[in-house]
Each structure stands twice: as C-alpha cells, then as structure tokens.
Structure 1
Amino acid sequence: MRRFFDPRQLAHAPLKELHNGGFTDYAERPVRAEAIAETLGVEAPVDHGDAAIRAVHDAGYLDFLKHGPARWAAAGRPGDVIGYIWPIVARRALKLDRIDALAGRYSLDASTPLTAETWDAAYWSAQSVLSALDAVHGGDRAAFALCRPPGHHAGADYLGGYCYLNTAAIAAQAARDAGADRVAILDIDYHHGNGTQDIFWTRGDVFYASIHADPATDYPFFWGHADETGEGAGESTTLNLPLPQGAGIDAFRAAQTAALDAIARFAPDLLIVSFGADTWDGDPISFFRLATADYAVLGRDIAVRGWPTVIAMEGGYAVDALGGNVASLLSGFSA
C-alpha cells in the first residue's frame, strides 16, 4: 500500500492548549507523525494546488488560516492565535474584522491554536490525502495518507479538535468532482468527526458513518448523538454509533459491521476511512480498550467489502504505540 506524507506537515507545533480549565502541553505533537512515518515508510505527495481545498472550505476561513497569525502578532497579541469569545447566538454573520473576533468566528474550541506554520502543514496534509486518492484512482486497492494535522473536527468554516482542513471531506469532494457518483466516509476515531458531519449534513451523495465515544461524556459533546441522521437531501445519509467509555473490540467490531452494512446499502464508488488510533487501550486522552492486534481485524473487515479505499490519519496520542497500531490496521488490507 502506498503511503503519503510531507515533512512540512511537522512544522505546526503549538506549545500549549486549553484543556479542562487550564493550559497544558499540546497533545497533537509532530512526534506523532514522525513515529508513524518511521514505522511505515512514506513517499512525498504531489502538490495539487488549493482548488480541492476551496471546494470544501469557506474563503474567509482560509484567509484566516493563512494570515491570522500575522494579524494576531501585529495587534500585539502574544503567542499563538486562540479564540476567547464565540458567537454562540446563531453564529451571527457580522462582518467584523478585528482579529480577536475572527479567532472566535472561525474556531470551535480553545484547544486548537493557530500558528504561523499551521497553514503550510495543513496544506500538505491535504496534498497527502489527495495523492492517496490519486493512487486509488490509478487502480490501487487502497492508499494511506498520514494526515497531520488531522482533519475530521474541522468544518467548512471553523477549526477545532487539533484540525484545520478536513482532509476526509476534501478527498470525498475531490472524488465526486472526478466523477464518483457516491462516496462513503467511515470514521473510526475515538471522537466524533463533527466537521465531516457538518460539511455533508444536507448532502445525499456522501454517506457519513461514525463510531465514537458517546458525546454525552466525551468531546465534541454537541455532535455525534444517535438521533443525528442528516437533513433535507442528506436525510438518512448520516449514521452515528456512539459507544460507552471502556468499549473493547467486540462492541467496536459489531458497530463497525453495522456501519459497513449501511454503507453497502448506499453502494459507494469509493470509501474514505478516517482512522484514529486513539481507540487503543492506553491512549492518554481516550477511553476505549482496543489492542494493537484488533486493528488488523478491523482493517480486514473493511477490506473484504471490496471498495476502493483511501485511509486518512486522524487521532492517536500514545506515541510509542502509534506506529504499530497504524501498521496493524493497514496489514488488514494485505491479508
């Protein structure tokens, strides 16, 4: 399986995040990607430009990602850009230009700092997933994109959950634009991919299925409940399968089988897997109980369905185990 990653994705390196009421060391560190790349071996992605990014993300938001840090510094603000006030009343569409207002307008949380290097890293993360899509379009059964920063919490016009550009959504839309009639996304990260759900909420051409920790107890809280199924043309093309903290392979595999069965009924031309290894027993910020060998089982269960598959890396924060957990999932596609 071909695996794509660019070292420019390492440049994004915030020092602190706001978590549980205090500032703590940023969890989504560059060493995560280094550990995976060292274990797997990777090749450089092709630069596709920004058209596929602009097809998913709001122009004002992209401008904020590119130029927000410089404007923050020019306004005399220290450190990285972190929002501290949010337009919670219907996200009011006011044309405010103050950088502090934009930081709230374009963010979901205060745990996702924006640095001067973020745009370049996120841009190359998107190029990695687009190159994996190229490989699958070229006839490969599956391809892997080492997306870092990850993507599934980023909406069309907001960052959050360590995510800035939604790589799974970018790949899905690029596949549609290249001629795929129907695309499915299977999200198997510990946390719900709220951004991906938001982007395709009213769309009938992209099916989104997510297995994740119950948002009644875990981030992102306001998305990912079982009664969320889509709206308008997208009604019944969203499937959320939340699990309780402590869930192990039996519960997770049963939920994944239900998701894959629903995807089979949708009959996609392409599957995109948002894969987070933060479901591993021992992840420092998550609470499922999967073992390294379990990922190979999950990978085989996906592979036997026979869909061309792009795998995009999402979470996973136990650095010492991360490379082995990703390798285990990918091994399921060669079994």
Structure 2
Amino acid sequence: MGQNWTLISIVSVISLVLLVGIIGNALVIYIIVANSDMRSVTNFYIANLAVDDIAFLLTCCAFTAATIGKEWMLGGFICKLVGYMQFVTIQATCFFLTAMTIDRYHLIVHAVNARNTRTIRRAILISLGIWAVSILIHIPAAIYTNSYVDKYNYTVCNRDFGSPKRDNIHTMFAFLSMYVIPLLIITICYVNILMQVWKRTSMGTESAQAQLKASQRKRKITRMVFIVVILFALSWLPLHAIILGMEFYDGKPVFKSSSFQYLNVFCLCLAYANSSMNPFVYAFTTNSFKKHFDRIFRGLCNSSKSREKGNTSVMMTETRFSKLAMSTDGNSLN
C-alpha cells in the first residue's frame, strides 16, 4: 500500500511539472509571436527554447509518468523515439543557452559590431543549425535504444551499445556535450561580460538618460539569461552525477538500495522541472514579459468575472420570472 502511494505521488509530481511546463512555455511562445514589440533576437532564442522544453516534456516527461514503476508496454518505436528525443532536446537546450549567452557577450563586449551582426535572420540560421546538429549527433542513441526482455523476464526500454566500453564512451560524450562544454563556454562569456561591465563602471563613464535606460535593460536581460543557465546547471547536475556513477560504478551496493532509487527519482523530477522553470524566470525578471503575462492573466480574470456576473444576472432574472409566475398563478386561482 505504501509503495502504491509513493508511486502515485511521483506520477502526480511529474504530471504537475508536465502541465505547468506546457502551459507556461506555450504562453511564452504566444507572447513572442503575437506581439511585435517582443520579436527580438534574444526572444527568438527564448521561443526556440520554449519549443524545445515542450518537446522534451511531451516525449520524455509524459512517457515517464505513464510508465514509471511498470514494464515497458509501448513497443520498440516509441522506445527509440523517447530515448532519442531525450538526447536531442537536452542537447538543443544546451546549445540555445550557449547561443543566448554568446549573443549577450557580443551585445555588451562588442556593442558596436553587434549592431550589424545581431539580426533575426542570423538568429534563424543559428537556430536551424542548432536543431540540425542536435538531431544528427545523437542518431546513435536512436539506433542502440531498444525495448527487450531482461534476465528477470521484465520488458524494459534501454540503451545498449554492445559493450561496457562503448557504453562508457557514449555516457562521457553525452555528459561533455550536454553539460560540461556548454557550461564552460557560458562561464567564459560571463566572465568577459562581468569584466567589461566592471571596466565601464570603474571608468566612471556617464551616458545620457536614454543610453542609461538601454544599459539597464541589457543588464536585466543578461541577468535573466544568467538565471536560466544557473537553474539548468543546478537542475541537471545531480542527475548527471547519478548517471555517471551508475555507468562507471554499477557493481556498488549503494546503487541497489531503495534510498538510492528514491534519490534517482528525485533527481529525475528535478531535471524535468527545469523545463517548467523558465517561464517564471521570464515573468519575474524582465519587464517586457511581465507586462504581457499580467495582461493575459488579467484578461482571464476579467473574463471569469464577466461569466460570473452573467450567470448571476441570469439567476436573478430567472428568480424574478419565477416570482412573477407564482404571483400570476395565485391571482388566477382567486
């Protein structure tokens, strides 16, 4: 009974993450597409990141919620699709975060050149390149991911490259390409950004009011990108650590304990939750997104109040009509 409640709790948490993530990221995409003032280079990358988060939640988070604690019953094709898309979407997330940070770097450190190079067309080409590379470099994950019956006569969906050495190489490649290298590039960019900002501050350069506002806006957006990157790094680090531990120290008793299984599920939920966090970051750290989120929610609240008022009016009308009918009936009886 306790195990069933634990499983129900886990599925409920994952389902909540799925629902919040899809709604939040869909609103981000809608805000960017529907409002001309939101169509900037940075927001174009944010829209792609939101699409990527929705794809990740639908192909990974949803199937985890449906199959956790059970045998794999969805067949070989779905197994390959889920295993493949997990790598593609996480890789694309890393690339888009890196692209956003490099874009911030050029805008602040090379501000003059950025005026000519930062265009929507260039952002489209970079985004297409990100999707293409993410799709191509993880084709081996699709090839070697299969559903099969294990030694316990249990149907599972897993990756198997045919030898422990190949499995180790793939795990290290994934860890480097989907975590270490992107974060290293991002760190280098932010160090240069901070140095540039510090230089300008220490030189005491004063600008006009319009330039000061533009500078403050750049810093807010840079802070927003930084928070998104930090959340990604913290959300995925525990799961990467567990994957590496299981890959290289699989025989250790600790990996067989029930406590470790709970820790594994917690880290998995934390990684999934990262795809639901970004819309909240945009809403609370940038005035442009906050303005449009407020407008949407106020519209929903006003619509709800209007429906309530409408229902109240209908009820009052019906009550008056009933009283009038009763009065009329009473008079006719007399």
TM-score (norm 2): 0.25
Q: Which structure features the higher share of strand residues? A: 1
Q: Which structure features the higher share of helix residues? A: 2
Using CA pairs under 8 Å that are at least 6 residues apart, name the structure with larger relative contact order, 1 or 2: 2
**Rg larger in 1 or in 2?**
2
TM-score (norm 1): 0.25
